[in-house]
Structure 1
Amino acid sequence: MIQKLYDWIDERIDVAPIWRDIADHEVPEHVNPAYHFSAFVYCFGGLTFFVVVIQVLSGMFLTMYYVPDIENAWKSVYYLQSQVAHGQIVRGMHHWGASVVIVMLLLHTMRVFFQGAYKKPRELNWMVGVLIFFVMLGLGFTGYLLPWDNKAYFATQVGLDIANQVPFIGPELKTLLAGDPKIVGAQTLTRFFAIHVFFLPGALFALLAVHFILIRRQGIAGPL
């Protein structure tokens, strides 16, 4: 059945060359754990992407139940965890995955830095990777408020106060994020939801596409 479906698609859009280009791509020996134990450090990038995929899929599930307003945000999260089948598991995966992905990104960035993989000709990919890191931090910050509990509320207030201290544009940046420059309220929640679900994921997907294209064009950096 799967083969018939593949043949049907291949007959119409000729996916065989694309699949062969992906599947037949040779991986350098120094990134194969079967040859070098140190090759495990090259797995950090792939593991990070795996966690990102989990975050995207679990986040899509959560948005089917989440209500982004101050009256029902916490209630919808509580309903998801207590009434929806496996809801507590999926929300737990998303909650802990937000921390795991930052740790994996940090490990991947450290590997690239200490092995000098950011040097010529990979400077552009290094800059793209740094932007991905900041986008993920933004996703973590904006997602923290969404449960709308006491910890999320006051933590976001601290984060907005930090944003207010940015030179020259601090007050404008805080107003842009919070909606209301004085309080964390309904506008803040809806803005954080929009940024978390639409704006930052769009930027993340675009940056990941550039990141993977550059890796494919330039290859994986050699060992020390």
Structure 2
Amino acid sequence: MLKSAYEWIDRRLDITPMWRDLADHEVPEHVNPAHHFSAFIYCFGGLTFFIVVIQILSGMFLTMYYVPDIQNAYKSVDYLQNEIAFGQIVRGMHHWGASVAIVMLFLHTLRVFFTGSYKHPREFNWVVGMLLFFTILGLGFTGYLLPWDNKAYFATKVGIEIAASVPFVGDAIATFLQGGEVVGAQTLARFFALHVFFLPGALLALLGAHFFLIRRQGISGPL
């Protein structure tokens, strides 16, 4: 069945050459764990991408039940955890996956830095990687408020106060994040929009650019 469907699509779109080009791409020997134990440090980027995919899929599930207003946000999360089959597991995956993604991305960034992989001709990809890092941090920060419990409220308030301390533009950043003078309904709506629409859009665009540059320039050599 699947083979017939693939052949039907392939006869119309000729996708086999593109698939072969991806599947047959050679990987340098120094990133093969079978040959070099140190090759495991090159796995952090792939692990980060795997976790990001889990975050996207689990987030899509969560948005089917989440209500982004201050009257029902906490109730919707409580309903998801206690009434929906596997809801607690999916929310747990999304919650802990956010922290794991940041840790894996940090380790990947350290690997790139200490192996000199950011040098010529990969400087632009380093910039893209830094933008990815801050985008994922932004996703973690905006997602933290969404359960709308005491911990989320006061942690977000502290985070916005830290942002407000930035010289010259701090007040503008705080006003933009809060949507007003205090953390309230507009803040929750704004964080939800950033977390579900704007930042994921930026994330997908940056991931596309990152993978394109990796494919174009290849994996960097050993230290």
Q: TM-score, length-normalised on structure 2?
A: 0.99
Task: Summarize the alignment of residues 212-223 of structure 1 with structure 2, pairs less than 5 Å apart.
Answer: 212-223=211-222
Task: Summarize the alignment of residues 1-224 of structure 1 with structure 2, pairs less than 5 Å apart.
Answer: 1-181=1-181, 183-224=182-223
**In the TM superposition, what is the alpha-carbon distance from 1:135 to its structure 2 partner?**
0.3
**CA distance in 2: counterparts of 1:33 and 1:170, whole angstroms:** 46
Read off the aligned partner of 2:197 and give its amino acid letter: F
Read off the aligned partner of 1:136 and give its amino acid letter: I
Aligned-partner SS, 1:69: coil
**CA distance in 2: counterparts of 1:43 and 1:168, whole angstroms:** 40
For residues 50-106 of structure 1, give each alpha carbon's deviation from its aligned partner in whole angstroms, at most 9, with x where no partner exists: 000000000000000000000000000000000000000000000000100000000
**In the TM superposition, what is the alpha-carbon distance from 1:138 to its structure 2 partner?**
0.3
Aligned-partner SS, 1:206: helix
**In the TM superposition, what is the alpha-carbon distance from 1:223 to its structure 2 partner?**
0.5
**CA distance in 1: counterparts of 2:75 and 2:23, whole angstroms:** 46
Read off the aligned partner of 1:113 and give its amino acid letter: F
**CA distance in 2: counterparts of 1:14 and 1:138, whole angstroms:** 39
Aligned-partner SS, 1:166: coil
Aligned-partner SS, 2:91: helix
**In the TM superposition, what is the alpha-carbon distance from 1:36 to its structure 2 partner?**
0.5
**CA distance in 2: counterparts of 1:43 and 1:164, whole angstroms:** 37
Read off the aligned partner of 2:62 and give its amino acid letter: L
Read off the aligned partner of 2:101 and give its amino acid letter: V
RMSD of aligned residue pairs (Cα, Å):
0.5
Aligned-partner SS, 1:147: coil
**In the TM superposition, what is the alpha-carbon distance from 1:172 to its structure 2 partner?**
1.1
Read off the aligned partner of 2:111 and give its amino acid letter: R
* Percent identity between the two aligned chains: 75
The runs of 5 or more residues in structure 1 that have no matched partner are none
**In the TM superposition, what is the alpha-carbon distance from 1:163 to its structure 2 partner?**
1.1
